[in-house]
Amino acid sequence: MINGKPHSVEAPDTMPLLWALRDLLDFNGTKYGCGKGLCGACTVHVNGEAVRSCVTPISSLQNKEITTIEGADGNTLLKTVQEAWYDEDVPQCGYCQSGQIMNAAAFLSKNKNPDDDAINTAMNGNLCRCGTYVRVRRAIKKAAEKINGEQGSEN
Amino acid sequence: MERRNFFRITSLAGGGLLLGTYLPFSCTTVDESIVDWEPNFFIRIGSDNTITFICSQSELGQGTSTGLAMVAADELGVSMDKLKLEFGPGSSERYGYLQDTGGSNGLRMVWQSLREAMATTRGILVQAAAQKWNVAPEECYCEDGHIHRKDLNEKLPFGAVLDIASTLQAPREIQLKEPSEFKYIGKPVKGVKTKWATAGTTPYSINTKLPDMVYAAIERCPVWGGELVSFDGSKALEIPGVVDVMEVEPTELQQEDYRGGVRPGVAVLATSTWAAFEGKKALEIQWEMGKNGLKSNDDIRKELEADYQTKSEVVANLYDAEKLFPRGRKYISGTYDSPFQVNACMEPLNATAYHQGHKLEIWAGTQAPQLTRERIAELTGLPEAAIKVNNQPSGGGFGRRFFCDYVEEAVILSEKLRKPVKVTWSREDTFLTSKYHPLCKDYWEAALDANNFPVSIRYRGSINRPGAYRCYPYSIPFMSHSYLKYKEGRLLPRASWRSVFAHPWGLGMECFMDELAHNAGKDPLQFRLEVLKNAEIQEQKQWPWVGSDLYPKKLHNTLELVKEKSSWGRLRTNGIFQGVSAMCYNGSYCSMVADISVREGKIQVHKFTAVIDCGLAINPSQVKGQIEGSIMWGLTALLKTPITVKEGVVQESNYDSYDLLRMQEAPDVEVHIVETQDTPSGTGEVGVPGVAPAVLNAIFAATGKRIRQLPVTEELLMV
Ligand code: FES
Ligand code: FES
């Protein structure tokens, strides 16, 4: 399942999810940065966990729920994070940002009220050559505020 | 960046051509039902009221597409939310020779012509509506994509007057908007590119997919100057998805080194990028490594050191420095070392080409769409008119994407296959076989008077620019000598790297200024203010990519401001120390203060305070973003492993060995923008060269150690 819809591909078992998404299924939001699990550009969610798709073979994903940057519809948390990213004008070239956003969303689902240290630790593996870190930090705080605000009003 | 085609701007300007205003009006109407109206090559207005801004300049993340869209929106009278974004193809017929993006020129190259083109368009729309309403044009104005009537509360969407507009001539006189009428310019506006990037939908060229397209990866000769002896592709062909293996013949590096320089290689053609990458790993290749195969980066450094001992001539002499230099009572010197670096753009280099024999189409994120088209014409023998370069937003460029070797490769393969071919560089390729920021060695010396005040400065180093134009703003007499040369050509081919020569230049100049200040017993910031106060304006306008003369007063102003904003000299708690730097680059000025601490050989950068004068800041959010990013870039060069070479081979192959600054190391950044109505200059690079010196000067303040080389290692801090 990718973003709530079933998909199947015909490819060697060892093909990383990244390339199945990009070259075979046309989910181009997920990016190739290093291919070795070193940069975070290819981050997606597998059953809600942040996973580096460049080192995740498709054979390990049968019947798993995959969410990509394109999967914000019906995913309030992801949507909120994207909105915070927009509000804070985070992206420069944008190439690392799908990965940043996916990683931030997975992180926020576990830590709803992170401080700077927690954010720095959680996001330390997501590289950005344009150097947008200051704003990534701000956007995560903003998203956290929003999430907490919404939950507060529901309760 | 030095580039020949910018010279042509001068001749164009001399001929009186104002881009946009005098472009032929191409109206695409054939029948009664008008679809699109393109009064110039910047804008398309549809009869359904879709308004598309066609961005001539490249978007690499620096925000040029948003900045220019804001200019268009304001001058035309359209709301930013309504403005769609497209990128213009590489074309000198459309855009004169103003299109290639480098030297932080995105906005300043077309700012004026874009405004004139939009004001002209607005003039035509107003005339058209006036005709329709049968009123005087003065009675109408444009706003929110509509022409409004002043006397009645009536308005018409642009799309409703295209039938008339497309028959009208351009008004003889146009009126540019007054700054007070700007709705967007000067405000932090988010553009289409921000929307794309947060949704993951930016149309990078790496996403290109065409019917019948072949995915290619190339194994390139690991040593620059080496040759292909033989290869065996049989194991690669066994990999599922691999369809063919073939040689890629090199192209010669041209005098202007952003053309040519395709390395000898072997291409694997496949049905997916991954299969091509896997096939590449299975290739068996014999290379002849050549002379460079025996050299390391230390050898190159030694070649520069040896050249320093040879005779040289003075190529620039400011304020009579040459005469004054021998009169010093004392002399001090500083030698600065900076290593090879790589751009490491997050989007690996890639390009798609479709050569059909008589015509050729290219899809690439390039900083130089015109130059690429010119070069590909030269390479293939096709006329430029038969070549279309679809320029796409890039996942970072930083100068590397000004060099078109990666497009040449796709063209070479597609010419053989007569199919669309997408060449994607693996991350390893972008580290191991790319083009690089050169290793530099720079010698600064000063003659001092009896009070230890410098009376003359002499520079000799690897930078070939100080003879022509320089980033030297101070009033201390200054001379520079002809630049240092390698014994036998380059060890690695050169690419521009964010701020290009200004980086080693800034390292030397701004660290040395600090040394001079301390020697004279002066506060380093105060000292700079003193030697800027009476400095003369330096003519540089003649260099088109610089754009304007150098005004020491502007730099002085940014220093005054950064002094105040950083609480210079007042912060001395918690072991925090400050360092300062001041740089000018292509019409922009930036002073910065770093707050750092050093504990047990570990340096922590807490905060940067920067002040920039970039002329009118069209989009302050983006200006600040560029300075924030520049600081992270500069810190990466200062603190992380650079590119090193052993036996001709680059040793860093991915982000584990060439690490970038990370979130945990990212300091707080405070950026202040000088308010001015001067013509916009640029923001992408001026913030880079001052970063290392600001930190190094702060390290001196903290420890009394003068570090004159990059990167700063624990070892250097401990000795
Ligand atoms: S591409 Fe997967 S971590 Fe870099
Ligand atoms: S925004 Fe360009 S790499 Fe992060």
B381-389 contacts at long range (C-beta below 8 A, 24 or more positions apart) = B382/B358, B384/B92, B386/B358, B386/B359, B386/B360, B387/B359, B387/B360, B387/B361, B387/B362, B388/B89, B388/B359, B388/B360, B388/B361, B388/B362, B389/B89, B389/B90, B389/B91, B389/B362, B389/B364
Residues of chain B contacting residue A70, judged by C-beta atoms under 8 Å apart: 199-200
Residues B179 and B229 in one domain: no
Residues B572 and B650 in one domain: yes
Query: Tell me, what's the pLDDT at B471?
Result: 83
| Residue type at position B434 | S
Q: Which domain holds residue B444?
A: 297-340+436-718
Q: Residue B431 domain-assigned?
A: no
Closest ligand 1 atom, residue A43 Cα: 2
Residues A78 and A115 in one domain: yes
Pocket of ligand 1 (CB under 6 A): A 32-35, 37-42, 52, 54
The values of phi and psi at residue B538, to 5°, are: -110, 130
CA of A133 to the centre of ligand 2 (A): 9
Residues A56 and A106 in one domain: no
Residues B305 and B276 in one domain: no
Residues A96 and A146 in one domain: yes
**Candidates B61, B199, B274; nearest CB to A92:** B61
CA of A32 to the centre of ligand 1 (A): 6
Q: Which domain holds residue A65?
A: 17-70
Q: Residue B18 domain-assigned?
A: yes
Among B393, B424, B455, where does a domain finish? B424
Please tell me which residue of chain B has the smallest CA distance to A36: B654
Residues B357 and B495 in one domain: no
In sequence order, the 6+-apart residues with CB closer than 8 A to the CB of B595 are B566, B571, B576, B577, B578, B605, B606, B607, B608, B609, B667, B698
Q: Quickly count: other Cβ atoms within 10 Å of residue B252's Cβ.
A: 8
Q: Residue A140 domain-assigned?
A: yes
Helix crossing, A133-154 with A76-87: angle to 10°? 130
**Candidates A28, A89, A130; nearest CB to B188:** A89
**What's the token pair of residue B449?**
């008077």
CA of A30 to the centre of ligand 1 (A): 10
**What's the token pair of residue A75?**
């995913």
Half-sphere exposure of B140 (CA within 13 A, CB side): 27
Per-residue DSSP letter, A21: I
Q: Are B332 and B357 in contact (CB under 8 A)?
A: no
Q: Residue A1 domain-assigned?
A: no
Residue for token digits 């910047």? B42
Question: Please, what sign has the CA dihedral across residues B83, B367, A89, B581?
Answer: negative
H/E run at residue B422 = strand B420-424
Domain with A128 in it: what CATH number? 1.10.150.120
| CA-to-CA separations, A51 to A47, A111, B197, in angstroms, rounded | 9, 17, 20
Residues A123 and A86 in one domain: yes
Helix or strand or coil: residue B622? helix
Please tell me which residue of chain B has the smallest CA distance to A79: B199
B274 touches A: beta carbon within 8 Å: yes
Nearest to B702 by CA among B563, B560, B583, B604: B604
Low-confidence residues of chain B, pLDDT below 70? 1-34, 466-470, 542-545, 571-572
Q: Residue A110 domain-assigned?
A: yes
Among A55, A70, A85, where does a domain finish? A70
H/E run at residue B284 = strand B284-288
Q: Residue B430 domain-assigned?
A: no
Q: Residue A95 domain-assigned?
A: yes
Question: Across the beta sheet with B83-87, what order do the strands follow?
Answer: B26-27, B36-40, B43-46, B51-55, B83-87
Please tell me which residue of chain B has the smallest CA distance to A118: B664
Residues B605 and B543 in one domain: yes
How far out from the chain centre does Cα B639 lie?
Answer: 22
Residue for token digits 């164009």? B12
| CA-to-CA separations, A75 to B127, B570, B701, in angstroms, rounded | 49, 49, 51
Q: How many domains does chain B have?
A: 3
Nearest to B608 by CA among B573, B664, B565, B569: B565
Q: Residue A139 domain-assigned?
A: yes
Query: Tell me, what's the pLDDT at B71?
Result: 98
Residues A50 and A28 in one domain: yes
Per-residue DSSP letter, B463: -
Reply yes or no: is the peptide bond before residue B711 cis, omega within 30 of 0.
yes
B512-550 residue pLDDT tens? 999 999 999 999 999 999 999 999 998 887 666 677 899
Nearest to B119 by CA among B33, B40, B62, B203: B40
CA of B282 to the centre of ligand 2 (A): 32
Q: Are B364 and B372 in contact (CB under 8 A)?
A: yes
Residues of chain A contacting residue B609, judged by C-beta atoms under 8 Å apart: none
Residues B234 and B320 in one domain: no
**Candidates B190, B209, B669; nearest CB to A89:** B190
Question: Please, what sign has the CA dihedral across residues B643, B104, A34, B425?
Answer: negative
Residues of chain B contacting residue A125, judged by C-beta atoms under 8 Å apart: 662
Residues B255 and B390 in one domain: yes
Task: Decide if pLDDT at A62 tops 70.
Answer: yes
Q: What is the ipTM of this complex?
A: 0.97
In sequence order, the 6+-apart residues with CB closer than 8 A to the CB of B151 are B135, B139
Pocket of ligand 2 (CB under 6 A): A 91-97, 128-130, 132; B 61, 346, 396
Helix or strand or coil: residue B366? coil
B241 touches A: beta carbon within 8 Å: yes
Residues A108 and A49 in one domain: no
| Residue type at position B13 | A
DSSP states of B176-230: PPPGGG-SSTTS----HHHHHHHHT----GGG---TTPEEEEEEE-SSTT-EEEE
Q: Residue A48 domain-assigned?
A: yes
Give which of A36, A130, A138 to mutate to test B binding, by max B Cβ within 10 Å. Answer: A130
Among A30, A53, A70, where does a domain finish? A70
A119 touches B: beta carbon within 8 Å: yes
Among B166, B199, B232, where does a domain finish? B199
Among B367, B392, B424, where does a domain finish? B424
Residues B328 and B420 in one domain: no
Q: What whole-number distance in Å separates Cα of residue B26 and Cα of residue B522?
A: 63
Residues A81 and A144 in one domain: yes
- Nearest chain A Cα distance for residue B400, angstroms: 13
- pLDDT band with cut points at 50, 70 and 90 for residue A152: low
Q: Quick check: B348 and A32 CB within 8 A?
A: yes
- Nearest chain B Cα distance for residue A154, angstroms: 27
Residues of chain A contacting residue B272, judged by C-beta atoms under 8 Å apart: 11, 15, 19, 23-24
Closest ligand 1 atom, residue A34 Cα: 4
Nearest to B111 by CA among B472, B614, B695: B614
Residues A53 and A125 in one domain: no
Q: How many domains does chain A have?
A: 2
Residues B160 and B278 in one domain: no
Residues A34 and A66 in one domain: yes
Q: What whole-number distance in Å separates Cα of residue B410 and Cα of residue B364?
A: 10
Q: Quick check: A15 and B272 CB within 8 A?
A: yes
Residues B503 and B625 in one domain: yes
Q: Residue A88 domain-assigned?
A: yes
Among A36, A51, A70, where does a domain finish? A70
Please tell me which residue of chain A has the smallest CA distance to B633: A131
H/E run at residue B268 = strand B265-270
Residues A103 and A51 in one domain: no
**Candidates B199, B274, B343; nearest CB to A82:** B199
Query: Tell me, what's the pLDDT at B105?
Result: 85
Residues A82 and A125 in one domain: yes
| Residue type at position B561 | L
Q: Residue B621 domain-assigned?
A: yes
Please tell me which residue of chain A has the smallest CA distance to B629: A131
pLDDT > 90 fraction of chain A, expressed in percent and rounded: 94
Q: From the CA of B63, which ligand is nearest? A: 2
Residues A64 and A82 in one domain: no
Q: Residue B674 domain-assigned?
A: yes
**What's the token pair of residue A16?**
């990383």
Helix crossing, B502-519 with B524-533: angle to 10°? 100
Q: Are B205 and B364 in contact (CB under 8 A)?
A: yes
Q: What whole-number distance in Å separates Cα of residue B444 and Cα of residue B511?
A: 10
In sequence order, the 6+-apart residues with CB closer than 8 A to the CB of A60 are none
Q: Residue B429 domain-assigned?
A: no
Q: Are B185 and B118 in contact (CB under 8 A)?
A: no
Q: Residue A4 domain-assigned?
A: no
Residues B323 and B376 in one domain: no
Residues B243 and B356 in one domain: yes
| CA-to-CA separations, B376 to B164, B368, B401, in angstroms, rounded | 41, 12, 15
Q: Would you state the torsion angle of the CA atoms of residues A32, A37, A38, A41, taken in this order, to the nearest 10 degrees? A: 40
Domain with B364 in it: what CATH number? 3.30.365.10
